[in-house]
Amino acid sequence: MPISELKLAKELIRRPSITPKDAGAINLLAKNLRSLGFKCQIINFKNIKNLYAKLGSSSPNFCYAGHTDVVPPGNESDWSVNPFKPAIKNNKLIGRGANDMKASIACFVAAVNKFKNKNKKFKGSISLLITGDEEGVAVNGTKRIVEYLKKKREKINFCIVGEPTNPNKLGEMIKIGRRGSITGRLTIIGTQGHVAYPHRANNPADTIIKILKKIKEINLDKGTKNFQPSNLEITKIDIDNHADNVIPGSANAVFNIRYNNKHSSGSLKKKLNNIFRSMTKKNKCKFNIRYEVSGEAFLTKPNKTTFMIQNTIKKITKIKPKLSTTGGTSDARFIRKIAPCLEFGLVGKTMHKIDESVPLSDLKKLTNIYLNILENYFK
């Protein structure tokens, strides 16, 4: 029985798989894939359910990667429909995950169904790498599956990540890399005291203001051919002080840097630590810094498969997609360690928003794009 992208997208949306809950989404997907002949491995890492499914066993292995987890819907009364009871309005499918990215997964499965019916003995294999941990901390999802596949010596020759890459129209943009992301949690330790006797204290607020001004003014770079300039943004400033006449003993701040491939997390840490060390010494304070690296900057050098996908998209949408590295991060940062990959999916305009939606026409087009990519790849 043919698999409809719309029907499967609705069924997936009905599973309220808010990270880290699976709510039956992975089992539903595995059931549909088994009906197409896929061998499905459901892999659990702690509280996260993941799936690696494969059709065929020979080379080359073309992989689709994605996630079934979604962000919380927010205030459900603000939605025009129940976010987990998908509905069609004005020729759009509305529901949490419609855009990011359950509908994209459904399109790929529907495309494989059509491809398999046309090409019963194709040379190669098709796989899906699906996680339930992309919207959260992303520790027990794709990162762990990639490690698992490496140990099993499972070869992936090319991977397409189905994230919603297009800003406004289907066909506008392919992601071929992403900037890195590092978060710094900085504490400046001074000496607490009475505000009337500042000479007996050392106010860490003064020092943290100077430090934040200094790091914000750093000109990291002017960008590259493939990447926009790196930027540092201060996201939190906090002094836990409940008295107005007390100079605090410590002050805290959080900042995030989105950086291109002119830098690494290591080079940025070194640069920042030198500033923290120098300025706290000058101001007779101490500092603690804790870094969290979400992923390093990476670029997948375009190859013949990249250009084939670009041309396939152009043929169907009449738009030549731009090869881009803009935006946040994705699970491609893990997959690129074992396979060349790019990202292409739906339009990202409504992702994470109230009344997240996708036009029904885009569902049909994306299924057709994925089908044509498979046909051209296995020619």
Domains, the chain, with CATH or none: 5-178+297-377 (3.40.630.10), 180-295 (3.30.70.360)
Residue 1 clears pLDDT 80, i.e. is over it: no
How far apart are alpha carbons 188 and 363 in whole angstroms?
51
- Between the CA atoms of 113, 69, 340 and 151, what dihedral angle is there, to the nearest 10 degrees? -100
Predicted local distance difference test score (pLDDT) of residue 260:
95
Residue percentage of the chain with pLDDT more than 70: 100
Do the Cβ atoms of 133 and 140 come closer than 8 Å? yes
Rounded to whole angstroms, the Cα distance separating 318 from 76 reads 37
CB 174 within 8 A of CB 165: yes
Which residue is catalytic, options 11, 133, 134, 356?
134
pLDDT band of 327, cuts 50, 70, 90: confident
pLDDT tens sequence across 26-77 = 999 999 999 999 999 999 999 899 999 999 999 999 999 999 999 999 999 9
pLDDT digit string, tens, across residues 247-280: 999 999 999 999 999 999 999 999 999 999 999 9
Beta carbons within 10 angstroms of residue 284's beta carbon: 10
d(CA 78, CA 94): 13
pLDDT value at residue 272: 98
- Residues 275-310 have pLDDT tens digits of 999 999 999 999 999 999 988 999 999 999 999 999
Phi, psi of 185, rounded to the nearest 5 degrees: -115, 105
pLDDT, position 329: 83
> Which helix (H) or strand (E) segment is 107 a member of?
helix 102-118
Which amino acid type is present at position 342?
L
Q: Which H helix or E strand runs over 128? A: strand 125-131
> What are the pLDDT digits (tens) for 139-150?
899 999 999 999
134 is catalytic: yes
- What is the pTM assigned to this prediction? 0.89
Active site residue 5: no
- Indicate which residue of 5, 22, 69, 331 is catalytic: 69
* Residues 6 or more apart in contact with residue 286 via CB below 8 angstroms: 188, 189, 280
What per-residue confidence (pLDDT) applies to 151? Answer: 95
Per-residue pLDDT tens for 191-250?
Answer: 999 999 999 999 999 999 999 999 999 999 999 999 999 999 999 999 999 999 999 999
d(CA 300, CA 222): 21
Alpha-carbon span 320 to 236, nearest angstrom: 40
